[in-house]
Amino acid sequence: MVPVADAKTIAEKTFREESGRIISSLIRISGSFDLAEEAIQDAFASALVNWPDRGIPAKPAAWITAVAHRKIIDYARRRGTRNEKQDALRYETEKSTAEDEVTSDEMSITYPDDRLRLIFTCCHPALNREAQVALTLRTLGGLTTSEIARAFLVGETTLAQRLVRAQQKIRDANIPYEVPAAALLGERLEPVQAVLYLIFNEGYLATSGAQLVRGDLCAEAIRLCRVLCELLPKNSENMGLLALMLLHDSRRAARLDSHGELIALEEQDRTLWNAEQIREGMQLVEEALRLRPVGPYQLQAAIAALHAQTSTPEATDWRQIAALYGELAKYSPTPVVALNHAVAVAMSEGLSQGLVTIDALGASGELDGYYLFHAARADILRRMGNRKDAAAAYQRALALTTNQVERNYLSRRLQEVNQK
């Protein structure tokens, strides 16, 4: 006998770590997201019934996989949809015993390429970005609908409808469940990377709400990026993306004080930074840059590495950071990259020069609705001692900021310049 609580803990851990691998194989065999999700949910429910009485198998994921495969056969039989997929699944599971006799030692089904197929399916260009993110977290990440809805601050019903529409789109548009041909791999990989980085960024700096950081989303993005690196080894941009996530995430413990308030990078206690993540991230950056070709994620990771390797803010190599942002602008000529370059210029070549560059960027009005533009401008004006203009810029940034932790930080800065 095993305590029900212990069985539940193991089942939840297995679901979080292995559901992406299991459901990938189920979708390949059944050709249906709906059937695959129903089967895996029923398999885990069976585990909660069987494991307390019969013991937890040595390989829980294999047990779940075997049972889920049998569930799909049962669904197909009941619906009278016997076809080549059912035959293929039956062939792969015919050596297993009846459901209540399945043992992990006898059954170990793995399809190493199925998760790669699923990543490209979830991030197909025919789906919008919201659908890509939701599907990736639901299928490969193993997050529940309610967890994803909470993370992105949308209603659970809205999120569920988004998932249903995405799955219908895949079915109706006959989106293939496959890895793109080599000639298309590069362009199709970019949306995958973008989705994973979006998930990480939403965890690292929440768009809105009362929390600044959602550690679960950061961890999930890093885990999925590790999967991508495992499935496509020696891809320099995948390695750069993983390095970028690790280096940013290494600062998580130092970003908030004991009251949950934001601490700026230059004011953080660097002894709280995660040395192991920094070590791994910098090693990945070096390896990725050697592999080539160089891409935007590697350049961003190299910038993060320059911050990570300095023991004091004063030791930061802002001139090199400015040069890297200049290179990044060749790949991503966006106003946001230009803004970051201008800030690096201000820190390396002088505040006045940086302010001139930032004001030139703002002349078009393209960044007027971007709160970080006004926050960066306010910070430079504050450092220059121009309290009046700094206050106005902080007020503009506050009006555009929806995350409460960031609002608190900007309010403190505004109060500081008004009091001096």
Beta bridge partners of 256: 262
d(CA 391, CA 413): 8
What residue has token string 């992406």? 20
Average pLDDT in the 322-344 region?
A: 94
In this predicted structure, what is the pLDDT of residue 192?
A: 94
Beta bridge partners of 209: 403
Both structure tokens of 151: 């993370």
Greatest Cα-to-Cα distance within the chain, rounded to the nearest angstrom: 78
User: Over pLDDT 90: what percentage of the chain?
Assistant: 54
In this predicted structure, what is the pLDDT of residue 46?
A: 93
Which region among 140-154, 229-243, 286-300, 399-413 has the lowest average model confidence (pLDDT)? 140-154
154-175 CB burial, b ≥16 within 10 A, e <16: eeeeebbebbeebbebbeeeeb
d(CA 382, CA 417): 7
In this predicted structure, what is the pLDDT of residue 110?
A: 42
In this predicted structure, what is the pLDDT of residue 5?
A: 84
User: Do 376 and 397 contact (CB within 8 A), yes or no?
Assistant: no
In this predicted structure, what is the pLDDT of residue 140?
A: 84
d(CA 121, CA 246): 26
In this predicted structure, what is the pLDDT of residue 90?
A: 53
d(CA 403, CA 338): 23
Rg over alpha carbons for the chain, rounded to the nearest Å, is 25
Average pLDDT in the 332-358 region?
A: 93
What are the residue ranges spanned by the domains of the chain? 4-108, 112-233, 247-316
More confident residue, 321 or 188: 321
pLDDT tens-digit series, residues 35-70: 898 899 999 999 999 999 888 998 999 999 999 999
Average pLDDT in the 317-330 region?
A: 96
pLDDT tens-digit series, residues 167-224: 999 989 989 888 888 888 888 899 999 999 988 988 887 666 666 667 878 888 999 8
User: Do 377 and 393 contact (CB within 8 A), yes or no?
Assistant: yes
Alpha helices, H only, 173-292: 182-204, 215-231, 236-249, 275-291
pLDDT tens-digit series, residues 287-313: 999 998 899 999 999 999 999 999 999
Amino acid, res. 187: E
Amino acid, res. 322: A
User: Phi-psi region for residue 56, left (φ > 0), alpha (ψ -120 to 50) or beta?
Assistant: beta
d(CA 243, CA 281): 4
The average confidence (pLDDT) of the chain is: 87
User: Over pLDDT 70: what percentage of the chain?
Assistant: 90
Kindly report the pTM of this predicted structure: 0.80
DSSP state at residue 139: I
Place 106 in a pLDDT band, splitting at 50, 70 and 90: very low
pLDDT of residue 113 exceeding 70, the answer is no
pLDDT of residue 14 exceeding 80, the answer is yes
Q: How far is CA 279 from CA 74, 282, 284, 309, in A?
A: 49, 5, 9, 9
